[in-house]
Chains A and B, each alone.
Chain A
Amino acid sequence: MEICLDNAEITESSPTFEEIYIKNRRLMMYTAMNILNNFADAEDCVSEAFLRFSKNFEKYSKLDWPKMTSLLVIIVRNAALDKYRKNQKICLSETPDEDVGAVSLDSYPIDSVISAIKDLKDEYRDVLMLRYVYGYNITEISALLKINSDNVYKRIQRARKVLAKNLEEGGGKI
């Protein structure tokens, strides 16, 4: 059994770009390969992800390791999904907004919310992570995922709606 992160010591100060690259490249490659199943395309996505990461390196390098690694995985996963769609010539059909009504999360136990989040599509989960866990604004998310600000905004809205729907359907209300 291999461990995905290399076993180098984690230093107290902010890591260098090279350290981050060496620690995460295999996991990122693995993520991209799972989606694309094509080595060259997967490499493209990994390098693209690191490029996006490097643009705001000073900020991202201050994250703790789990968050930093997860962020890189989010970026590479989205880059790979974009590439996959391009290869397949799939156009994302934007489904019309459904009004699922206002749902209060307070009325659900946290386990149900966690389970509903896990049921979300990667793209929706990622955008919620970036917004609420990492606290990035729309512009920053737009730069990380290479989609325009309107789409980020819409995606967050949709993610919240789908999450609410999952919760309603999954039940578990207190």
Chain B
Amino acid sequence: MSKDILKDALEDVLNESFNEMTGLDIPDYDFSDEFRDKMEKLTASSEKRSEKKRKGILWISVSALTAAAAAFCVWTGLRNTPQLSTKDNNSGIITSVEEPTEGTSVSIQTTSVCQADSKTTTIVSSEPVSAVTTYSHTQSIPQNGISSVSQSQAPITNHSVTVATTTGTHHRPTLNTTAANTSLPAQVVTTVTSYYDPELNEQLDEYERSLVMKKFLAVSAAAASMLSVSPTHSMAVYVAPKVSERFSAYFENIDSGLWNADVDGNGTFEAQDIYKIYRYILNNEKYASKEELAVKEAGDINKNGITNLEDVKILEKYYFYKYGFDPEDFNISLYKDNSDRVTIDSYNFIEEMKSVAESDDLLYQYAAEKIKNGDVDLDVNSDGNIDIMDAFDYYVYFCKNYYSGMDVLIDNIKDYDSVFKKSEDVFAAFDYDRNSDSTIVKYFIYNCDFSPEWLNVNIYYDHFHKYMKQSPNTSNYPLYSKYEFVTRSFSYLVKDAALEAGLATVRDDTSKIDLLVNPEFGPKFDVLFAQYDSDVMNGLITPPDINHDGSVNFKDRDVLVQYMYDVIDYKTAEDSTIDYNTWTYIDTQLDLNDNGVYGDLYDLWLPNHLIMKYGEDTLTEKLNEYNANQENQKKISKLGHIRYLEAKSDVKLQRSGDADGDSNVKMNDAVLVMQSISNPDRFQLDDWGEFNADLYNTGDGITPMDALEIQNQLLLK
């Protein structure tokens, strides 16, 4: 077929069809709030991406030029002379200035040829801040290899950062404090310096075999840096989220009487009004009682013809808007069913309400106020300082309470009694908050001097290790895995909070791929891989389902390779052939070696090698096991919270009798209870099963009377 004719004809059809469309009689659709919400978010994120792309153009242009120049140098160097010439002091510097973040913020991003030196630091401060280079490279550095610090073109302001560079010497060099002193305005500045070490030639030759590796070298030379900067102090400014325009309009409707929030018509709007709608929705018309059915009409708060969770959400938000946040509202015994029982619905309702409060950050605001008022003592380790280690120590206690299987770790801790005692007080002060661990970390992030060290998992390992009776290692895997879990997951909490607060930013791309020229890369990779392999195979971390399609296979590998090419080619998520979400996941979340750099060579090669080693079936099986385990952990965490609340309030939630967790109560649940008693080696109830089955004399554990009670309930049904 002739493509030209086909194209012409298609274009004619397209134009004709467009003209037809413009003449259509289209109704003015009343789009739902949910749809409008979704589109608002999409519009915002799309415009944010466009903005980001515009900002990146300068950086990409300069980087590309530098990379090209460096490529030429490296090629020449590799092919002709092992001794590369000394670089001009100012050559190879990449500087980009981005728009300031909110308030007065200075961000300095640096990269290094050695991953150990690589740091990304953002300083946010309303005060003048200063930063001094720290230097931790242990390799031999050529004397002439260091280039200088870049200086912003922007005018000097009163916010200044002092940067000192180092001159390389053998082993640990001394600081040359006069090398540079530059003042930076309140802007984001990326500084990259370059050097080339001829001693690395032998290692480089090894990597020169493929085109990919050549590209790596070229860009690496441009990206390599020996500069590292650390701030002396830095603090984020907390900005409370505002009520959206949509909800403001809703609140006005309620305040003006257009919409009625007093669902039960008793003259007052209270949390019970919301709970009534919630119960009506849960039970729906088929099972709702007469009383519950009565709220059907009144529960349609936004008058869209349906009484649904959107109405509940509107009222919940309005409730907090009107009355503020008060943990007393989360007392489960306030929310009873028609038989005056407190059930799991009561718990789920308060959790739902809490999630709304959480989305408006009210839990954090309340907690911060309480801490600032001195109602809570956060110095849980009683060392006289309130620092991030107090948050860590509290987290150990938090895990002890909420996660199963922690005994092996707790039994191995020494000298922690007073920590636990003080943590218990903190825990009790925030017991309404199932995520008090994150809340407290957030408090530290916003209210204490932030140090980039907080993002380094090793400080938590070191701190916690002091309290270990025996050193956790793989020979005692149960202990080791819990030790790993607590330290790692805490460092993730800190990272998340720091990113959210803008205290940490994600890297300069080129630093990700300079690793290959480091002679330590190979040996370090071997060590990391052994660890990664063991962690994945023992279920400690998730197998690499990079594209999140539910299986681990060669597609994941392909995606990683493509991402590597994209980085080399300065492509962004929008330009890549990889699915946008997958690209973004690698770029902003994949940090398998915990070095704070996402999607670097280690992060790309570790899963790659693992997939090569084990193949699809084994890893997919591991992934399924891991996901099931995670799901179980979540459930157990919820159960821990319920048990705690029960113990505290003496109110027992009505048990369902569902011993096997299949969401149905049948005779086999009674049978399973009896079997678990008579033959515990073969039949066991899981944590939730044990909770649900404890019907008779709730709280006394599983007895044959529980089986009888399940049968009684079935008969009475």
Q: Taking beta carbons and an 8 Å cutoff, which residues of A are in contact with B?
A: 1-5, 16-18, 21, 25-27, 29-30, 39-40, 43, 46-47, 50-51, 54-59, 66-67, 69-70, 73, 103-106, 108, 110, 113-114, 117-118, 125, 128-129, 132-133, 139, 143, 160, 163-164
Q: Which residues of B contact A129 (CB under 8 A)?
A: 10, 13-14
Question: Measured between C-beta atoms, what is the minimum distance from A142 to chain B in Å?
Answer: 10
B715 part of interface (Cβ distance < 8 Å)? no
Tell me whether A132 and B6 are in contact in the complex, defined as CB-CB below 8 angstroms, given that A57-B49, A66-B14, A66-B18 are known contacts.
yes
Question: Measured between C-beta atoms, what is the minimum distance from A36 to chain B in Å?
Answer: 13
Q: Which residues of A contact B24 (CB under 8 A)?
A: 2, 4, 27, 30
**Complex Cα spacing A108 to B1, Å:** 10
Q: Is the CB of A103 within 8 A of B43?
A: no
B25 part of interface (Cβ distance < 8 Å)? yes
Q: Which residues of B contact A132 (CB under 8 A)?
A: 3, 6-7, 10
Interface residue SS majority, chain B:
helix
Question: Measured between C-beta atoms, what is the minimum distance from A35 to chain B in Å?
Answer: 15
**Chain B residue total in the interface (Cβ 8 A):** 43
Q: Which residues of A contact B25 (CB under 8 A)?
A: 1-2
Q: Is the CB of A133 within 8 A of B11?
A: yes
Residue on A with the closest CB to B17? A70
Q: Which residues of A contact B29 (CB under 8 A)?
A: 25-26, 29-30, 39
B243 part of interface (Cβ distance < 8 Å)? no
Q: Is the CB of A117 within 8 A of B9?
A: yes
B8-33 interface (Cβ within 8 A of A): 8-15, 17-18, 21-29, 31-32
Q: Which residues of B contact A128 (CB under 8 A)?
A: 6, 10
B625 part of interface (Cβ distance < 8 Å)? no
Q: Is the CB of B10 within 8 A of A67?
A: no
**Complex Cα spacing A114 to B26, Å:** 26
Q: Is the CB of A66 within 8 A of B26?
A: no
B252 part of interface (Cβ distance < 8 Å)? no
Q: Which residues of A contact B10 (CB under 8 A)?
A: 117, 125, 128-129, 132-133
Interface residue SS majority, chain A:
helix
B208 part of interface (Cβ distance < 8 Å)? no
Q: Which residues of B contact A5 (CB under 8 A)?
A: 22
Query: Which residue of the partner chain, among B15, B32, B50, contacts A66 with CB atoms under 8 Å?
Result: B15
Question: Measured between C-beta atoms, what is the minimum distance from A170 to chain B in Å?
Answer: 13
Residue on A with the closest CB to B10? A133
Question: Measured between C-beta atoms, what is the minimum distance from B34 to chain A in Å?
Answer: 8
**Complex Cα spacing A80 to B622, Å:** 36
Query: Which residue of the partner chain, among A58, A104, A114, A160, contacts B13 with CB atoms under 8 Å?
Result: A114
Tell me whether A113 and B5 are in contact in the complex, defined as CB-CB below 8 angstroms, given that A2-B25, A70-B17, A133-B11 are known contacts.
yes
Given contacts A43-B34, A117-B10, could you give 11 more A-B pairs where the C-beta distance is less than 8 Å? A2-B24, A16-B47, A29-B29, A43-B31, A56-B574, A70-B21, A104-B2, A106-B5, A113-B6, A133-B7, A164-B1
Q: Is the CB of B1 within 8 A of A4?
A: no
| Most A Cβ at <10 Å: residue of B11, B17, B26, B38 | B26
Tell me whether A27 and B26 are in contact in the complex, defined as CB-CB below 8 angstroms, given that A17-B46, A47-B35, A160-B1 are known contacts.
yes
Question: Measured between C-beta atoms, what is the minimum distance from B707 to chain A in Å?
Answer: 41
Q: Which residues of A contact B1 (CB under 8 A)?
A: 103-105, 160, 163-164
Residue on B with the closest CB to A57? B46
Q: Which residues of A contact B23 (CB under 8 A)?
A: 1, 3-4
- B559-591 to A contact mask, C-beta < 8 Å, 1/0: 000000000000000100101100000000000
B39 part of interface (Cβ distance < 8 Å)? yes
Question: Measured between C-beta atoms, what is the minimum distance from A120 to chain B in Å?
Answer: 9
**Complex Cα spacing A69 to B39, Å:** 17
B469 part of interface (Cβ distance < 8 Å)? no
Question: Measured between C-beta atoms, what is the minimum distance from B324 to chain A in Å?
Answer: 34
Query: Which residue of the partner chain, among A26, A57, A139, contacts B28 with CB atoms under 8 Å?
Result: A26
Q: Taking beta carbons and an 8 Å cutoff, which residues of B are in contact with A?
A: 1-3, 5-15, 17-18, 21-29, 31-32, 34-35, 38-39, 42-43, 45-47, 49-50, 53, 574, 577, 579-580
A-B interface, 10 closest residue pairs, ranked by CB to CB distance from nearest = A113-B9, A17-B46, A66-B18, A105-B5, A43-B35, A54-B46, A105-B1, A55-B580, A132-B7, A105-B2
**Complex Cα spacing A99 to B39, Å:** 45
Q: Which residues of B contact A2 (CB under 8 A)?
A: 24-28
Question: Measured between C-beta atoms, what is the minimum distance from B536 to chain A in Å?
Answer: 28
| 12 intermolecular pairs with C-beta atoms under 8 Å apart | A25-B31, A26-B28, A26-B29, A55-B574, A58-B50, A66-B14, A70-B17, A70-B18, A73-B21, A105-B2, A132-B7, A133-B7
**Complex Cα spacing A29 to B31, Å:** 9
Q: Is the CB of B21 within 8 A of A18?
A: no
Question: Measured between C-beta atoms, what is the minimum distance from A153 to chain B in Å?
Answer: 16
| Most B Cβ at <10 Å: residue of A4, A67, A139, A143 | A4
Q: Which residues of B contact A117 (CB under 8 A)?
A: 9-10, 13
Q: Which residues of A contact B577 (CB under 8 A)?
A: 139
Q: Is the CB of B6 within 8 A of A30?
A: no
Q: Is the CB of B574 within 8 A of A118?
A: no
Q: Which residues of B contact A160 (CB under 8 A)?
A: 1
Tell me whether A4 and B38 are in contact in the complex, defined as CB-CB below 8 angstroms, given that A55-B574, A110-B8, A113-B6 are known contacts.
no
Q: Is the CB of A43 within 8 A of B7?
A: no
Q: Is the CB of B50 within 8 A of A21?
A: no
Q: Is the CB of A51 within 8 A of B5?
A: no
Residue on B with the closest CB to A17? B46
Residue on B with the closest CB to A74? B14
Q: Which residues of B contact A47 (CB under 8 A)?
A: 35, 38-39, 42
Q: Which residues of A contact B3 (CB under 8 A)?
A: 132
Residue on A with the closest CB to B37? A47
Tell me whether A43 and B32 are in contact in the complex, defined as CB-CB below 8 angstroms, given that A18-B43, A103-B1 are known contacts.
yes
Residue on A with the closest CB to B35? A43
**Complex Cα spacing A105 to B579, Å:** 36
Query: Which residue of the partner chain, among A17, A55, A58, A133, contacts B43 with CB atoms under 8 Å?
Result: A17
**Complex Cα spacing A25 to B36, Å:** 11
Question: Measured between C-beta atoms, what is the minimum distance from A167 to chain B in Å?
Answer: 9
Question: Measured between C-beta atoms, what is the minimum distance from A72 to chain B in Å?
Answer: 11
Q: Which residues of B contact A17 (CB under 8 A)?
A: 42-43, 46-47, 50
Residue on A with the closest CB to B5? A105
Q: Which residues of B contact A105 (CB under 8 A)?
A: 1-2, 5-6, 9
Q: Is the CB of A133 within 8 A of B14?
A: yes
Q: Is the CB of A40 within 8 A of B8?
A: no
Question: Measured between C-beta atoms, what is the minimum distance from B87 to chain A in Å?
Answer: 36
Q: Is the CB of A110 within 8 A of B5?
A: yes
Question: Measured between C-beta atoms, what is the minimum distance from B414 to chain A in Å?
Answer: 53
Q: Is the CB of A110 within 8 A of B47?
A: no
Q: Which residues of A contact B7 (CB under 8 A)?
A: 132-133
Question: Measured between C-beta atoms, what is the minimum distance from B100 to chain A in Å?
Answer: 23
**Complex Cα spacing A129 to B17, Å:** 12
